[in-house]
Structure 1
């Protein structure tokens, strides 16, 4: 299947925003110099939300196109998702539990553990890492798994739902689910939805946009270059300024659903011939899952070096901040590349056996 243009570089950009979000947090927590004075350092959560829109966009588009060909298999869908997500997910989960429960005590670094192994395995094996992260605050390496849990929960719901729905009704039902769930989420009827960030409306948004495009109902957006340009500028301003950040939160979520959906559509289908063809950026996009999953591990290692090595402790604040950024980014890219090349790629190649 041909890959849509510009989405791989977008993945890398979003993963980098998450790294930038966490870097000053851990540095400040450990008493190291840090810088977070630009709005872009505070957009990590929104970057994950755009990941959700992108995921819903791609997954529902894939299912919809398969149903049109009468070739959608729930079994094959789940096997492909398992091969993509599980190997790295369980690798990081295992390392995170070992890190906080074994490595830190061995190094005499205090860290409160308020959960049992049974609780950790229950929540994280049965697709509830978002609940585990909120209830126990188990540490950054484990807490970032919350977003993978949201994706897993969505896959459990969306595949059987779309399998049994007539293809003619998919757009209407997804639209109803998007609107209904958004209202329920922000109505405070079920407080746990907000508490544990069950933000499925972002994934539904991506799916609705994808099907609207498949049904040729978004052609009016392509009549002028002005609209995609305005969407891209607005998205850039969203991440680098505070112009679009306001209360109430439901309105902020409504804005991000609309903006992120239109932005992804503009990049993939309405780029007016503008396409990022840089091989390095595309590769970084291909390894973005690893960048997201490994960045907290690398960040902890880099911060540990600055706390323990005297030569690094004697640097001035500005140089310390610059080196923290460079070492964390370089280390994360290196490990993500090695993981993709020598670990993930083995499972990704197996996915081809389950495509029709």
Structure 2
């Protein structure tokens, strides 16, 4: 197992939760933290998730291709399905029932802006990024990124099955460059509309190829320190966001995020590679998937209690959401997800 990357997942999931906490609090009229950029880095965290996913999955495909000369597509999709499908479909079901039945039962109004049959179809067949455009509610909207991942792997695995291994790096570089240009020049507008950021995955794949082949072209301490510094600036300030165009910003993101993952994978950092953080990273999928559900439960509680001190309200609300999300994710991982994960073995 590569070091540091499992714990990185937890921090990324936490950034997403903090980002959505502010959105949820604003929509409910709750006080929230709004003076610190770190609380609004959910999009950046998702882009790192995409890059990390591309790094790891494409790395596995590269290893299989170079070891056996072929890709077992059935095994590849079986592993993906057993890891992703159970929790995805559980949350999809909860979201559809919650917004279309439960809220109305308790007398809350929720305007459905999509055709229910079409929405169910889009959810079932991993098109939640299309459904998310119709604002189906936070529980369903968070599924968009899972859909993007599955759509990319429906494309990339067959390509690796067909491509000669000596052309893998050339393909990854060409795909990343051409796709990013098509995306940001709006040649195909639906790519932006449905947030199909495939170039983050393939950029992660480029660095995974470099790591696999042990090129060592990036292994200079000054480059590593510079890269970590830029990564910290991205997540703790808005300097780059305020001074770069969208294309320039995403170019920086794709280069920095993939390089950060590469450097983290090279050597264990004791603080990051601790048992606690590795465990929290192992349940990060649940943290990402369940947090919007926990928002609804905790939000309902706070709608019915009065806290006059805004700072106390924020601390209690944020703390309760995060702790409950971790608890539910832990229980889910142990008693639900682990059953399907064991089938992979």
CA offset digits 1:126-163 (Å, max 9, x no partner): 221101101x1101100000000000101100110100
Which residue is equivalent to 1:49? 47
1:59 match: secondary structure = helix
Match of 1:274 among 269, 276, 287: 269
Alpha-carbon shift at residue 80 of structure 1 (Å): 0.4
Structure 1 segments, 4+ long, off by >3 Å, are none
1:108 match: secondary structure = coil
Which residue is equivalent to 1:231? 227
Contact 2:227 2:256 (8 Å CA) reproduced: yes
**For structure 1, which segment, 58-67 or 33-42, has the greater mean C-alpha deviation from structure 2 after superposition?**
33-42
1:5 match: secondary structure = coil
Residues 236-251 of structure 1 aligned to structure 2 (within 5 Å)? 236-245=232-241, 246-251=243-248
Which residue is equivalent to 1:25? 23
Alpha-carbon shift at residue 114 of structure 1 (Å): 2.2
Alpha-carbon shift at residue 226 of structure 1 (Å): 2.5
- Aligned partners of 1:184, 1:226: CA distance in 2, in Å? 33
Contact 2:298 2:321 (8 Å CA) reproduced: yes
Which residue is equivalent to 2:123? 124
Contact 2:307 2:313 (8 Å CA) reproduced: no
- Aligned partners of 1:23, 1:264: CA distance in 2, in Å? 26
Which residue is equivalent to 2:309? 316
Contact 2:207 2:262 (8 Å CA) reproduced: yes
| Structure 1 pair 216–278 and aligned structure 2 pair: CA distance change class (3 A) | closer
Question: TM-score when scaled to structure 1?
Answer: 0.94
Which residue is equivalent to 1:106? 105
* Alignment pair present for 1:290 and 2:290: no
**For structure 1, which segment, 324-333 or 118-127, has the greater mean C-alpha deviation from structure 2 after superposition?**
118-127
- Aligned partners of 1:277, 1:86: CA distance in 2, in Å? 28
* Alignment pair present for 1:139 and 2:132: no
Which residue is equivalent to 1:72? 71
Alpha-carbon shift at residue 11 of structure 1 (Å): 0.2
Which residue is equivalent to 1:61? 59
Alpha-carbon shift at residue 120 of structure 1 (Å): 1.3
Which residue is equivalent to 2:182? 184
Match of 2:166 among 165, 168, 193: 168
Contact 2:71 2:160 (8 Å CA) reproduced: no
Alpha-carbon shift at residue 229 of structure 1 (Å): 1.9
Question: TM-score when scaled to structure 2?
Answer: 0.97
**Count of residue pairs the alignment pairs up:** 342
- Aligned partners of 2:120, 2:62: CA distance in 1, in Å? 34
- Aligned partners of 1:89, 1:109: CA distance in 2, in Å? 25
2:269 match: secondary structure = coil
Match of 2:249 among 248, 252, 255: 252
CA offset digits 1:232-260 (Å, max 9, x no partner): 12101110011221331011110000000
Alignment root-mean-square deviation, CA: 1.1
Match of 1:205 among 186, 198, 203: 203
Q: What are the ranges of 5 or more consecutive residues in structure 2 without an aligned counterpart?
A: none
Alpha-carbon shift at residue 97 of structure 1 (Å): 0.5
CA offset digits 1:77-115 (Å, max 9, x no partner): 000000000000000000000110111111111111122
Q: What are the ranges of 5 or more consecutive residues in structure 1 without an aligned counterpart?
A: none
- Aligned partners of 1:252, 1:226: CA distance in 2, in Å? 22
